[in-house]
């Protein structure tokens, strides 16, 4: 199973991306897709070990890179 995260504050975009990913991956593999509406939600889930993903789609304009840097440990 692959675990995927989508972090975007635009619900239309994130819901559309969810559908694209689901219809692309689910016929051949199991997937678990989480949607986060902001960087804080994502970081809290990661910090509390509630979310561990293999692939993460992030809106790079949403948080100015703060969450991205924190994930990479910088």
pLDDT surpassing 80 at residue 7: yes
pLDDT surpassing 60 at residue 15: yes
Q: How confident is the model at residue 64 (pLDDT cuts 50, 70, 90)?
A: low
Rounded CA-CA distance 61/63 in Å is 6
The three-class DSSP label of residue 10 is coil
Rounded CA-CA distance 37/62 in Å is 10
Distance of CA 28 to the CA centre of its chain: 20
Q: Which two tokens stand for residue 4?
A: 């995927």
pLDDT number for residue 14: 94
Mean pLDDT of the chain: 81
Which strand (E) or helix (H) includes residue 36?
A: strand 31-36
pTM of the model: 0.75
pLDDT surpassing 70 at residue 69: no
Q: Which two tokens stand for residue 28?
A: 């051949």
């Amino acid at each position: 199973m692959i675990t995927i995260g989508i972090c975007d504050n635009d619900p239309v975009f994130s819901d559309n991306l969810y559908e694209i990913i689901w219809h692309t991956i689910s016929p051949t593999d199991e997937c678990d897709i989480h949607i986060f509406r902001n960087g804080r939600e994502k970081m809290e889930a990661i910090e509390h070990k509630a979310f561990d993903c293999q692939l993460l789609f992030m809106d790079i304009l949403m948080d100015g890179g703060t969450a991205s840097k924190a994930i990479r440990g910088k």
